[in-house]
Structure 1
Amino acid sequence: GQVDTILIYIADFIAAMLIRSTGRTLQMARNRSLKSLDLTKSVNNSVNVSAGDTASLIYLWNPWTIITCVGSCTSPIENLMVVIMLHGACSRLAPLAAFGYVMATHLSLYPAILILPVALLLGYGPDTPPTKVFLQKGLSANKIDMSDNGKGTSQKGFGQFSWKPILHFILWVFIWSCYVLSLNSIILNKVGGLQEMFEKTYGFILTVKDLSPNIGVLWYFFAEVFDFFRSFFLIVFNMNIIFMVLPLAIRLKHRPCFLAFVYTAIVAMLKSYPSAGDSALYLGLLGLFANELAEMQFTFFLFFGYIGVSLLSPVMHNLWIWRVSLSLYLYLYLYLSLSLSTHTCCVLLLT
């Protein structure tokens, strides 16, 4: 009812404020990293926009966010928990990050893969330039002045991994998990207990039993596939996300917050039951990297191409579901091409 709608609005507003705070933390870490590389002059001369403010405005005024609010969906609650997790990890608040992680995983299974960026954020801190940049800077500094050891000491101490916040995080994950599972077992004791809850939530997500039309493509694929091959393709599609986790973590370990954005974008495209709220979340997180994206090429084509594909979604839904037109294949091709090209450009630019 009306109370649920108000709670959804409040959740979106809190998420936007936490994204804004996370953006400021990332911007401070970015400036410290560039100053440690003696690039203060280039930082002052470059366009330095407020990434936190930009990201929060993108999240609040995103059409996908407005659609989820108007439709009274529960996606803003899930997005809020993911944002709480990232905010706590960037601020190195292990209890807050553990609470967001447990609740986000409880509401939806897919945020479980965010354990790696959260661990990197707690261990290394916010995003930093690659280690090889500091090594190259240290070598050039030694060539100029072999007697100056001050910068080398500061660069060696920068970005060291710490296990203490991660151990605190694991402890708090265990505490919050026990608390949530205990409450669920008490509430669901007369209904079927935890086993039925896992079957109706996580089992429902992994087995893709509901083939109602949505903005994803898995429902259509499993509606057409033979039952004999269904188990095989279920394993393939569910493992597809997991196969990307480790290689991306190795490549982007120095950019854990950007790694979390990449994971969120992949989940939004490949999860079994995607929604408009998933797109709202990763587009809001994309605004956290506004300073880097300002120098990206082909932004006009990618931006308006994404808007055009989004506006054509209702038309293509009608053609797909009711009229079964061949133009839907063109739409799918454009959508996947724009999505992949956008994320590829972001990865090449921001790494």
Structure 2
Amino acid sequence: MLNPYNILPTLARSTSTIDSALTVLALLFACQKRTGPALVALAALVHVSLPSVLIAVPFIMILTDAHAPASTLANPGPGSKKEKDDVNGTQNQHSQWKAVLMGAEWALYMGVLAFSGHLATGSWNWVWRSWGAVVTMSDATPNCGLWWYFFTEMFDHYRPFFLFAFSAHPLIYIAPICMKFRHDPFYAAYLLLGINAMLKSYPTLADAGLFISLMSLFPETFPYVRHPLPTFLLHLHSALLMPLASHLWLSQGTGNANFLYAATLVFGLANLAMVVDAVWAGLRVAFVTEEGEEVVQL
């Protein structure tokens, strides 16, 4: 956790450190199979950071999978086909019911937290001012994300359509990632954290920092990461240019929004490169090759 992306938000006293702490705490409880505390932590995480709902499905998969969080990337389907069919036939139905009950329990905790917010504020306006602001991008203050500049330049009559498209876009990754990495739901949650850090409306450095730091939990993927140096240089480039462009535009008045947005695009590209590399490495590690053989992507 000595990643600069984690240290700098802490020194700045950013609330993003609370999101990171709740994410790590929820995953820790899930890996320990402590269902109640894990679901409470997940509910608290989604309550303070709505985009984190992206990891709810793999999170429940971790709780229902008897083998999780042990990584099975290198051997996603041990045993013969008949053995796997027998085991899957007896466990799937039980796991599905268990997942439904856990989903209901998590929804109950979310309801309790939401009602506690109503009691604290005396109305339900907090829903629109917190969760609603995440979806509607009501505050276009420049940040390290991809939304703010786009919706600043957007014509008003196109805004609802693109708000829906941008908000729904991250959700389409849940099903394919959870299906492909169903034998290792912890890795699926890790990938969705990276997608969330890249596509959420109000991202922070801590989001990318948490994704980078969690990569150390999967050392078996390290030999198959394809572009570590370009990814590092992209992060370095954006980390140097974002504060510089922000200072020139917002403080000195000698730059403009295009410079800062170009730097944030590089930052988004760096996050994308890490997610793509992580997906490739997670898939590639399952293929055992003999000497002289090579796995290629078509």
TM interval, short-chain normalised = 0.7 to 0.9
Letter in 2 for 1:104: L
Give the Cα separation in 2 of the matches to 1:298 and 1:156: 40
Do the aligned residues in 1 keep the contact of 2:208 with 2:271 (CA within 8 Å)? no
Equivalence map 1:42-57=2 (5 Å): none
Residue 201 of structure 1, aligned match among 126, 130, 138: 130
Residue 190 of structure 2, aligned match among 261, 273, 277: 261
Letter in 2 for 1:234: L
Q: 1:219 to 1:92 in 2, by over 3 A?
A: same
Q: Percent identity?
A: 24
Q: Deviations over 1:299-319 (max 9, x none)?
A: 233224323332222123245
Residue 186 of structure 1, aligned match among 108, 111, 119: 119
Residue 165 of structure 2, aligned match among 211, 216, 236: 236
Match of residue 78 from structure 2: 134
Give the Cα separation in 2 of the matches to 1:70 and 1:165: 41
Residue 339 of structure 1, aligned match among 262, 265, 271: 271
Point out 4+ residue stretches in structure 1 off by more than 6 angstroms. Answer: none
Match of residue 56 from structure 1: none
Comparing 309-318 with 333-342, which one deviates more in the overlay? 333-342
Give the Cα separation in 2 of the matches to 1:215 and 1:313: 8
Q: Deviations over 1:213-259 (max 9, x none)?
A: 11113111111111111111111111111122222222222221111
Q: What is the CA-CA distance between 1:112 and the residue it aligns to? A: 1.2
Q: Secondary structure at the match of 1:312?
A: helix
Do the aligned residues in 2 keep the contact of 1:97 with 1:169 (CA within 8 Å)? no
Give the Cα separation in 2 of the matches to 1:80 and 1:326: 33
Q: What is the CA-CA distance between 1:332 and the residue it aligns to? A: 5.0
Answering whether residue 148 of structure 2 is matched by residue 219 of structure 1, we say: yes
Q: Secondary structure at the match of 1:210?
A: coil
The size of the alignment, in residue pairs, is 274
Instruction: Give the TM-score normalised by structure 1.
Output: 0.69
Give the Cα separation in 1 of the matches to 2:268 and 2:22: 28
- Cα RMSD (Å) of the superposition? 2.8
Do the aligned residues in 2 keep the contact of 1:99 with 1:176 (CA within 8 Å)? yes
Gap runs ≥5 in structure 2: 284-298
Match of residue 310 from structure 1: 239
Match of residue 23 from structure 1: none
Equivalence map 1:319-330=2 (5 Å): 319=248, 321=250, 322=253, 323-324=255-256
Equivalence map 1:1-351=2 (5 Å): 59=1, 61-124=2-65, 125-126=68-69, 127-129=71-73, 133-135=77-79, 138=80, 157=87, 160-161=91-92, 162-163=95-96, 165-167=98-100, 169-189=102-122, 193=123, 195-319=124-248, 321=250, 322=253, 323-324=255-256, 331=263, 334-351=266-283
Q: 1:90 to 1:156 in 2, by over 3 A?
A: farther
Q: 1:336 to 1:72 in 2, by over 3 A?
A: closer
